[in-house]
Amino acid sequence: MQNRLLCGFILVFLSQGGCSTPLHSSAKLDGASQWDDDSTLDGGFMEGDDSETTATELVWEDADGAFHFDSGFRRTGNEPGQSTNRHYMRTVRSDFVSADWTFQLTFHTSANAPDDIIFIGLGEAVPDSTSFDEPRNSLNFRIHQGTTAFGTGWDVDVMAHDIGHLHWTYSNQAVGYLPGAEGGTFTAQISKSGRQVTFSILDTAIVATIPDIGTAAPFLSTLTSRIFFGNASSAYSFDTLVIEGD
């Protein structure tokens, strides 16, 4: 049976850092230092859905204590343009490579924002210090945004990076381009069905289908395939996190 789950309002509070308050009004801190909840999400969060949700399906972690919630998830601090101080919000669940699902996330780019790359994908989602803190062992969007977008023309890539300086196991650069320095609001979607994965930006021509996830990202396993998103600059925010799956 298909379930539509709105995510992102329950956090794991880790010893390395984390959000100081829960992002769900009825969440509580349990003995495992995890923000947990066994109730359905508020109607204002569950747009057009009345299905029940469980904590294990909705738990996200901020392993580096690098995000806060301000009308959406947003990086803390004030990183300059083209900063490589990148961090990631990721699901606690780590076996998404073995399931079929569709994930949507909406991100907001301020006008003339600092140059940044938005990463949304599937994988370990740990900053790779040998490669500009891009997410290691991950298959993901690389969405260039900001005033000049690193001089890329605001291109959108789909890449798989394991570990090492700009080392890719899959590369599809310039799948398409988003509007320029004026910014805007966009919804990224990733769908997995069997071994096929499709990355798209809704309401645009940007779409890339990978026939075999095992070939593109051989490092993914049931221990390292978390859904994630992240970036460097606080000028960008993320909300409306939705997962549909079995």
- Is the dihedral angle over the CA atoms 215, 195, 9, 142 positive or is it negative? positive
Considering its fold, how many domains does the chain have in total? 1
What per-residue confidence (pLDDT) applies to 3? 54
DSSP string, 201-224: ETTSS-EEEES-HHHH-TT--TTT
pLDDT (tens digit, 0 to 9) for every residue of the chain, 246 residues total? 455 554 444 444 343 333 322 233 222 223 332 323 222 222 222 223 333 333 335 589 999 999 999 889 999 999 999 999 999 999 999 999 999 999 999 999 999 999 999 999 999 999 999 999 999 999 999 999 999 999 999 999 999 999 999 999 999 999 999 999 999 999 999 999 999 999 999 999 999 999 999 999 999 999 999 999 999 999 999 999 999 986
Enclosing domain of residue 59: 3-245
d(CA 106, CA 239): 5
pLDDT of residue 139: 98
Question: What is the reported pLDDT for 4?
Answer: 55
What is the C-alpha to C-alpha distance for residues 149 and 170, in angstroms, rounded to an integer? 22
CATH number assigned to the domain comprising residue 30:
2.60.120.200
Q: Taking the model in full, what pTM does it have?
A: 0.83
3-state helix, strand, coil in the chain (%, to 5): 5, 50, 45
Token pair belonging to 24 = 């769900």
